[in-house]
Structure 1
Amino acid sequence: MTSRATARSSRIPRSQQPTGRLRGIDAARGLALLGMMATHLLPTFEANADLTPTWIGLTFSGRAAALFAVLAGVGLALSTGKQVPFEGAALSAARRGIALRALVIAAVGLSLGGLEVNLAIILVHYALLFLCVLPFLGLKLKALSAWAAGWIVVSPVLAYLLRPWLMAAEPPLNLGHNPSWEDLSTPFPLLGDLFLTGYYPVFQWLAYLLVGLAIGRLALSKAMIPVVLLTAGIAVAALAKALGTAAMENWGGRAALEDVLNAPGYPLDSVLQVNLTGIRQEGSWWWLAAAAPHSATTLDLAHTSGVAAAVVGACLLLGRLAEWLDLDLLLPLRGAGAMTLTLYTVHVWVVSGFYLKPLPAGWTEDGMYFAHAATAIIVGMVFVLLKWRGPLEWVGHAANQVARGERIGRP
C-alpha cells in the first residue's frame, strides 16, 4: 500500500505537489510591490499646470497599497486556521506571534522614517494594522464579512467628523512626514497621524485587513472561489467607481467641493482621479461621495477592496493554470511576493540615496523603475528556488516563533 502511494506521488508533477503556500497569494503580493514601486519612481501626474494624470497614476495609485493591505489580512487568515479560525491557546499564541512580528515591522518602518526620501512609507501603519486586527482573528467568515462591510461604511464618516478636531489642535495632530524614532517623543501627533490624519489612515484602512481576513477564510483551494473573487471584485470595483464619478460629475459633487477647496496647486479634477492626499477633506459632506484614490471614503475603500479581491482571484486562477501546464508561470511575481518586507526596505533605502539629486548620466525614471523591478524579481526568484526566507522575513518569522514559545528555525 505504501509503495503504491509513493509511486503515485512520484508521478505527480512537482508544481502540483503541496507547497504549504498558495502561490497565487505570493504572486499577488509581488504585483502589489511592483505597483507601489511604480508609484514611487514614475510620475503619477504630468508636469503641466493641470496636473494631467499619467497612466501610472490612473492604474496603480491607491490600488497597489490597498492590495498590499488586503493581502496582509489574507496572510493572517491563512496562518491562523484558514477556513476555521484558531481557538483557545492556539489563537492566543498566534496573536502573540503576530504582535511581536508587527513590532519588528514597526522598528524597520521607524528606521526608514529617518531617511530623507520623498515617499510615503507604509511600514509603521502596516504594523499598527496588524495590532488593530488581533481581536478579529478568531471570527469566522460571516462575522468577518459583516465587520468588513460595516467598517467600510461607518469608519469614513467617523473619520470625517474627527479629522477637523485633530487638525484644530495646537499643534495639529499631524506629522507631515514619515514616522520615525524621534516621533515617539511626541505620541499624540504620532498617533493622530497614524490613525486619522496621515497618508495611510489606520482607522479606515483596518477595513482592508478585515476584507483580507474574510477572503482568507474562504476555501481558496476550491475551483470556483477564485472565479467568484474575480467576478465579484470587478463588479464591486466598477460599481463603486461609477457611483463616485456620477456623484462628482453628474450630481454636483465636484462643483460643491470646488467652492470649499482652498488648494490652488491641486486641480480638483486631476486629484480626484489619482490622489486626494494633501487636501483637507472638510467643509462639505460631498467629500464622502468621492471614490478618489487615497481618499479613504466608503466608495474608495469599496473600489480598492474590489480591485484587490479581483487580483487575488486572477492570481489564484493563474496558479491553477500553471499547475495544469506544469509550468511555474508565477515564479517571477511570487518570488518577489515572498520577501516583500526585505525588498521594499531596500527599495526605499536606494531611492533615498537619490533624494534631491539628479539621476546618474544616461538614466531615466523609466530605467530606474525597471532596474528596481528587475532586481526585485531576480532576487526573489533566487531566494524561492533556494528555499530561503528573505533576511527581514526571517527576523519577523523568528519573532513570531519566540512569542509562540517555539524553537527558532534556521534561516
Structure 2
Amino acid sequence: MTSQETAPPRKAPGNGTVSSRLAGIDAARGAALLGMMATHVMPTFGPPPQWDPTIVGLVFSGRSAALFAVLAGVGLALSTGKQEPRSGSDLWAARRGVAMRALVIAVVGLMLGGLEVNVAVILVHYAVLFLCILPFLGLRLKALCLWALGWVLFSPLLAYLVRPLLLDANPPLKLGHNPNWEDFGTPGALLGDVFFTGYYPVLQWISYLLIGLVIGRLALTTARIQLLLVTCGIAVAGLAKVLGVLAMEVWGGRTALSALPVTRGYPLESMLQVNVTGLEQTGSWWWLATAAPHAGTTLDLLHSSGVAAAVVGLFLLLGTTAERIKVNFLILLSGPGAMTLSLYSAHVWVLSGFTNQPLPQGWTDEGMYWAQALTAIAVGTCFAVLRRRGPLEWVSHTASTVGSHRPAAVG
C-alpha cells in the first residue's frame, strides 16, 4: 500500500525527497482504495430474503483488493530495477528495504487489528506477502512468468488440500478476526489463518504479487504495452469468468455445492457473485471450479488479475495522455493513490467509531462513503500538490531507506 516506484528522486520543499513515479500506477492504486472503501461501507448484498448482489458487490468485491496486491508487485518491480532486475549487493539492499517496509505495514496492521471494526484489514497479510516475494525480486521476466503461471495453477490446489487439515484441528487453526498482537500467543492459528484459512490467504495471494512483478518488468511507458495490458487483461478476465459461470450454472457445480453446509446465511448463488468468504470451501472439488470473488481459485486469480492488468493499462494510457497534454487530470486519484497506507488506516479507524453504532441522524451508507471518499481525494490531492508524503508513507520510506543502506566502502 505504499508506493516507491521509480528513480531518481527529486527534492520537495520541507520533506526531503519524493520519488518520481508513473502517475497512472498511483491513479490505479487510488481507484483500488476507493473501491475497497466502497465494499467496507456500502452493502454488497441486497435486503432479505433474496439477498441479491448490489452494484458495489458485483463491481468492486474481490477486484479492488486484488488490484492492490497486483500493484504491490508492480511497485516492487519498479523499485528494484524496472525491466532489468537488480543483482548482487544492490539486490540484497533492495530486499532489506522491502523487509523494513513490510515491518512498518505489519505494525500498522496489528494495531488496526485491535480495533472493533467490521472490516477485514489486509495489512498484516500484505506485509507477509512482501516478505514472501523477496526471493523473486531478482528474477527476469521469463522466469517470473513461469513462476506466476505455476503459482496461479497449483497454489489453489495445495490450499484446498491443506485447508481441511487446519480447520479440523482442535481448536481450528483459524482466527475469525483481524490479526492483532494477542494472536502471537497462538502462533499456529495466526500462521494458519494468514496463509490458508483467513480472508486474504497469502499462499494464493502470492500469485497477485508475482503477476504484478511481471507487469512491472514490462516497458510500461510504451503505448504498445499499455494497450496489451488492457486487451489481454480484459480477455483473460472475461474467459475466466465465463468458465466459472459455466462450471457453476451449466455443468452442475452450484447444484453440487448447494448440497454442502452453508455458514453465512446468504444464498449460494449470490455469494458466488459477490464473496464466498465465510464458506470453508471443503468437501467438494467443485470449489476449485468457481471464479467467485475471494475464492482463491485459479479462475478467481485469473479473473481478478486480468481486471487488475486492464485497470493498470488503462490508467497508464490516461497518464500518458495527461503528460502529453500537460494537464494532470489524474491527480484526484494519483494523489490519494500515493498515500494509501495513511488513508486506508484512517478509513478503518473512522469506521471503528461506527461499528455496532447507528449512523448519525440523516446519514446513509452512501453518504458515509462519499464523505470518506471525497475526504481521501481532497487530502491526497493536497499532499500531491505540496509534494509531500503521507505520514505513514514517510515512516515506511524512512524504514526502507535505513534497511537498504549500504555503508560506503573504506579505503
Equivalent pairs counted in the alignment come to: 390
How far apart are 1:263 and its partner, in Å? 3.4
Tell me the alpha carbon deviations over residues 116-144 of structure 1, each in whole angstroms, 9 at most, x when there is no partner: 00000000000000000000000011111
* Partners of 2:261 and 2:363 in 1: CA distance: 38
Distance 1:279 1:177 in 2: 15
Query: In the alignment, which residue of structure 1 is the partner of 2:33?
Result: 33
Partner of 1:243: 243
SS at match of 1:260: coil
Shift of 1:406: 6.3
Task: Tell me, yes or no, if structure 1 residue 208 matches structure 2 residue 208.
Answer: yes
For structure 2, the 5+ residue unaligned runs are: 1-18
CA distance in structure 2 between the partners assigned to 1:40 and 1:223 by the alignment: 35
Written as runs of structure 1 = structure 2, the 5 A alignment for 1:255-274 is 255-263=255-263, 265-274=265-274
**Whole-Å separation in 1 of the counterparts to 2:223 and 2:101:** 33
- Counterpart residue identity of residue 366, structure 1: E
| 2:93–2:406 Cα contact (<8 Å) kept | no
1:284 and 2:248 correspond: no
> What is residue 20 of structure 2 aligned with on the other side?
20
Shift of 1:268: 0.7
SS at match of 1:380: helix
- Is the counterpart of residue 352 in structure 1 residue 352 in structure 2? yes
Q: Is the 8 A contact 2:264 2:278 kept in 1?
A: no
Q: Which residue of 2 aligns with 1:15?
A: none
d(CA) in 2 for partners of 1:85, 1:214: 11
Q: Which residue of 1 aligns with 2:142?
A: 142
- Residue in structure 2 matched with residue 79 of structure 1 by the alignment: 79
Counterpart of 2:297 in structure 1 is 297
TM-score (norm 1): 0.94
Q: Which amino acid is 1:315 matched to? A: F
Q: CA separation in 2, counterparts of 1:161 and 1:167?
A: 11
Q: Deviations over 1:339-360 (max 9, x none)?
A: 0000000000000000111111
> Which amino acid letter does the alignment assign opposite residue 123 of structure 1?
L
Mapped to 1, the partners of 2:223 and 2:52 lie a distance apart of: 42
Tell me the distance in 2 between the aligned counterparts of 1:146 and 1:121.
Answer: 30
| Deviation, structure 1 residue 261 | 3.1
Aligned partner letter, 1:317: L
Residue of structure 2 in register with 1:319 after alignment: 319
Residues 287-318 of structure 1: CA distance to partner in whole angstroms, max 9, x if unpaired?
A: 00000000000000000000000000000001
Distance in 2 between residues matched to 1:99 and 1:322, nearest whole Å:
34
In the alignment, which residue of structure 1 is the partner of 2:93? Answer: 93
Cα deviation code 1:170-199 (max 9, x no counterpart): 110000000001111111100000000000
Q: CA deviation at 1:260?
A: 2.1
Q: In structure 1, what is the Cα distance between the partners aligned to 2:188 and 2:313?
A: 40
Q: Which residue of 2 aligns with 1:225?
A: 225
In structure 2, the CA distance between the partners of 1:353 and 1:264, relative to structure 1 (3 Å rule), is closer
Residues in 2 aligned to 1:24 and 1:260: alpha-carbon distance in whole angstroms:
44
Q: Which residue of 2 aligns with 1:14?
A: none
Q: Is the 8 A contact 2:230 2:314 kept in 1?
A: yes
1:166 aligns with 2:151: no
SS at match of 2:259: helix
* Counterpart AA for 2:367: G
Structure 2: which amino acid aligns with 1:304? S
**Unpaired segments of 5 or more residues in structure 1?**
1-18
TM-score, normalisation: structure 2: 0.94
Cα distance in 2, alignment partners of residues 280 and 50 from structure 1: 22
1:339 aligns with: 339
Q: Whole-Å Cα distance in 2 between the matches of residues 348 and 47 of structure 1?
A: 24
**CA deviation map 1:76-96 (0-9, x unaligned):** 000000000000000000000
Moved over 6 A (4+): none
